Structure formats: C-alpha cells, structure tokens
Amino acid sequence: MALPKISPYAPPCGPFASRAGWSVERGRAALLVHDMQRYFAAPFPPAADPLESVVRHIARLVAAARAAGIPVFYTAQKGDQFRPDRGLQADLWGPGMRGLAEHEEILPELAPNPADHVLVKHRYSAFQRSNLEALLRARGRDQLLITGIYAHIGCLCTAAEAFQRDIQPFAIADAQADFSAEKHRMAMEWVSDCCGGVLGTDAALAAITENA
C-alpha cells in the first residue's frame, strides 16, 4: 500500500489537442501547486527528471504568477490523520504521512509566501472539504492552472472537479509529475479529451505575463 518507487522519465511538455477551445487569461487565472510535499516527492529519484525539471517549472510559474497578481494556491496534507477521517484512502495507500517536517513540509524551492493560500488536503481533489472554489470566486477567477503531483491522481481529480464547478482547468504538463511516463501521458490525454486544456510551462508563462 506504500507509494511506489518511481523511475526517471522525461515529462511531456504539451500541448495536447483539447476538445475545449479555451485560452489562459491572466485576469481570470489562478495557479495551484498540488501536494508538493516531501512525503510525496520522496519516491522520485533525486536530482533527476521528472521531479527536478517539474520543481524548476513550478518555481518559474509561481514567481510569474506573483509578479502578475495572480493568486497562488497550495494543497498540503496533514500527517497522522485520524483513521476514520482518512476514509477509503487508507484502504489503498495505508496510513499516509506522519506529522513530521520531513513528511509534511512543502519543498523549500516552492515554499509559499504569506500572500499565498495553503489549503489542507483531505481527498484526491483539492476542492474536497476546502474553500478553494469560494476563494476563487471571491477573486473573480474561473480558470485554474494545475501543477504538482501526482498527475493521474490528485491533479486529474482536481481538474475534473474544477470542470464540474464551471472553472476551466489547465493541466501544465511539464509542471506535473507522476508514477510513470505512461500514467502521466494518460492523465494529460484524459484532461484534454474530457475536461480542460493541457499546455507546457512556456505557453502558460507567456499567457500569464502578457501585458503584466
């Protein structure tokens, strides 16, 4: 039930042909950094792709979003979850992380600042049992750029739920990482075919910095 050991691979950079004809708009977008905690990053090989380049790409997006006045959201689980509260996730993944800094801490290269919003993560989707939608609506944001780990689990479920809440999701393909290249590509193809846009970091940066 533990997280698998992940072999190196090069993340896809997109774009993928999308059923939706949406484009990222700086005045409508928010950025999500999904589950970039030490516990979830630990299965990746150190100093290698996909994690090495993904961290670099997310850092670029975070810096650009802050400079452009785009809200930045983070998700982060808490360790030592109460078993009934953890629910069915425990059946698939065991007890999860411990309440220790080496598990809970967001990677220091991506550390949130006081103006960012850190949401406590309870289920795969960042919308579950959080006020993410309310925070987006209050800021006039109806597009969500999704980065982080894991592409075919939490990132994919967040994109699907955003779509169902009439928030346009955009998966940033080379700013997400996954268990394998195959699962990563499957997630990008599913998003592009069923619920949102998929693009690379450079294209996302161009969109959010336009006229900034």
Average pLDDT, the chain: 94
The CA distance from 96 to 80, in Å, is 7
Q: Residue 97 corresponds to which tokens in the numbers above?
A: 């992380």
The residue among 21 and 58 whose pLDDT is bigger is 58
For 141-171, the pLDDT digits (tens) are 999 999 999 999 999 999 999 999 999 999 9
User: What range defines the domain where residue 72 resides?
Assistant: 29-209
**Considering the entire predicted model, what is its pTM?**
0.95
Here the CATH number for the domain that contains residue 195 is 3.40.50.850
The residue among 49 and 210 whose pLDDT is bigger is 49
Which one of the listed residues 35, 85, 116, 174 is annotated catalytic? Answer: 35
Phi, psi of 197 (to 5 degrees): -100, 155
For position 85, what pLDDT does the model report?
A: 84
Residue 41 lies in a domain: yes
Residue 24 lies in a domain: no
How many domains in the chain? 1
For 117-129, the pLDDT digits (tens) are 999 999 999 999 9
Whether 35 is catalytic is yes
Task: Give the angle subtended at the CA of 178 by the CAs of 83 and 36, to the nearest 5°.
Answer: 60
Query: What band does 90 get if pLDDT is binned at 50, 70 and 90?
Result: confident
